[in-house]
């Protein structure tokens, strides 16, 4: 997950490892990403916060998330796929750890539906309220009291 040449020049190799760990194995846990990137610190929480909020590091994280986040049509396709299954079906997900060993996890379809629902809300697919902006000219009157 290397960055563009401009961003790579700004980031140190450790910062790039932090970004890779943050969006990868650490699953958005900055403290864990600090440790996985090889930083030696007494307080990984503080360093993780600092790294995550460093402008060029944050820009790289945002770029990766933008490229890897499901878009509205993909979410709707997944929702349709899951909606057509029986709730008694299970999904098995296999990931690989750092050494390349498969790690299998089973989750029920309702957990996947919840994740897709949250992604859909993030993409504003399910809007309960409609916001409208209307330009209206309102005449302003001046009222003066007329005395007899």
- Quick: pLDDT tens for 62-109: 999 888 888 888 888 887 777 676 655 666 778 888 888 888 877 677
The structural domain count of the chain equals 2
For 126, other C-beta atoms within 10 Å of its C-beta total 8
Quote the mean pLDDT of the chain.
82
Residue 54 inside a domain? The answer is yes
Residue scoring higher pLDDT (93 or 2): 93
- CATH number of the domain bearing residue 37: 1.10.10.1400
Residue 145 inside a domain? The answer is no
User: Do 44 and 99 lie in a common domain?
Assistant: no
Cβ(19)–Cβ(64) below 8 Å: yes
Residue 128 inside a domain? The answer is no
Cβ(51)–Cβ(15) below 8 Å: yes
Give me the percent of the chain exceeding a pLDDT of 90: 34
What pLDDT, on a 0 to 100 scale, did the predictor assign at position 8? 47
Judge whether residue 9 has pLDDT over 70: no
Residue 25 inside a domain? The answer is yes
Range of the domain at 114: 72-122
User: Do 116 and 78 lie in a common domain?
Assistant: yes
What pLDDT, on a 0 to 100 scale, did the predictor assign at position 50? 95
Q: Give the DSSP H or E segment for 9.
A: helix 5-10
Judge whether residue 14 has pLDDT over 60: yes
């Amino acid at each position: 997950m290397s960055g563009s040449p401009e961003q790579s020049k700004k980031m140190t190799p450790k910062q790039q490892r932090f970004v890779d760990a943050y969006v990868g194995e650490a699953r958005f846990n900055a403290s864990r990403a600090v440790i996985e990137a090889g930083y030696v610190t007494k307080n990984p929480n503080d360093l993780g916060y600092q790294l995550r909020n460093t402008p060029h590091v944050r820009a790289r994280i945002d770029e990766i998330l933008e490229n890897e986040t499901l878009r509205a049509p993909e979410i709707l396709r997944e929702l349709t796929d899951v909606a057509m299954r029986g709730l008694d079906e299970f999904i098995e997900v296999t990931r690989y750890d750092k050494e390349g060993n498969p790690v299998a996890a089973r989750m029920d379809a309702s957990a996947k539906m919840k994740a897709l629902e949250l992604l859909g809300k993030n993409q504003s697919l399910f809007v309960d309220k409609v916001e409208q902006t209307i330009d209206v000219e309102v005449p302003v009157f001046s009222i003066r009291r007329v005395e007899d």
